[in-house]
Amino acid sequence: MKLERILPFAKKLLENAITSGDAAVDATVGNGHDTLFLANLVGENGTVYGFDVQEDAIRTSTEKLNQHGLANRVTVFHAGHEQLARLIPANHHGKVKAAIFNLGYLPGSDKSIVTKPETTISAIDQLLEIMVPEGIIILVIYHGHAEGAIERDALLHYCQEIDQKKAHVLQYRFMNQQNNPPFIVAIEKR
C-alpha cells in the first residue's frame, strides 16, 4: 500500500468530519482552493467562513467561488483569523465542525505576509471554544522558510501542552524526507 500523502490526508480528515449542512472554517483563504473544497463538502445548506488578511486573496477566492456557483454558501472576511470568534455569527457558535489552516505565505504572492504563531494560536484557542465536540482543526505546517520554522516550534509546543481532556492532538509527518516538506497537526475537540 501507499501511505496517504500529506495534503490528501488533510482532505480526507475534512471529508470525514464534514457532512451536508455543517459549518466549517478556512482560516487562511489564499487562492481559495480549500475554501472551494469546504464549500462542496458543506452542501447547499451549509456555511463556510473564510479569513485572509490580503485583499488579493479575498478577490481571487471570491471569483473562484462565483465561477463554481458556490459563493452563496461562503462568507469571506477580509480579516485575520484571530478575529474569528467575534466575526462568526453567534448562531454558529458551538456548531463549527471543522477548520483548516494552510500556514505560511501564499505562493506567487508577497512572501513577507506570513501567518504568525501568536495569531494562529489565538485563532485555535477561539475555535476550541466555538466548535462542536469532536470538531476537528487541521494545521498544515510549512516550515521550509525562516518564519515557518519559528511558527512550527511555537505550534508544536502549544499543541503538546493542550490538556488531553480538552482535545486529542495528532501529528502526521513523513520523517525522512528532504527539504522540510509540510506536515499536519490535527486537533480534535473533546
Residue 51 binds ligand SAM (CB under 6 A): yes
CA atoms within 13 A on the CB side of 186: 18
**Alpha-carbon gap, residue 151 to 116, rounded angstroms:** 6
Q: Using CB under 6 A, count the residues that bind ligand SAM.
A: 21
Paired with 91 in beta bridges are: none
Per CB under 6 A, the list member of 80, 135, 148, 182 interacting with ligand SAM is 80
**Considering the complex, what minimum distance in angstroms separates the CB of residue 158 from ligand SAM?**
16
Angle between helices 117-130 and 146-160 (to 10 degrees): 40
Give the nearer residue to ligand SAM in terms of CB position, either 55 or 163: 55
The residues in 10-29 that bind ligand SAM, with binding defined as CB under 6 A, are 27-28
CA atoms within 13 A on the CB side of 64: 20
Cell of 26: 478556512
Residue 52 binds ligand SAM (CB under 6 A): yes
Q: What is the DSSP letter of 39?
A: H
Per CB under 6 A, the list member of 10, 41, 96, 106 interacting with ligand SAM is 106
β-pairing, 183-189 vs 131-141, is antiparallel
Per CB under 6 A, the list member of 82, 99, 124, 143 interacting with ligand SAM is 82
Per CB under 6 A, the list member of 18, 23, 48, 57 interacting with ligand SAM is 57
For binding to ligand SAM (CB under 6 A), which residues are involved?
A: 27-28, 30-34, 51-54, 57, 80-82, 102, 104, 106, 113, 115, 119
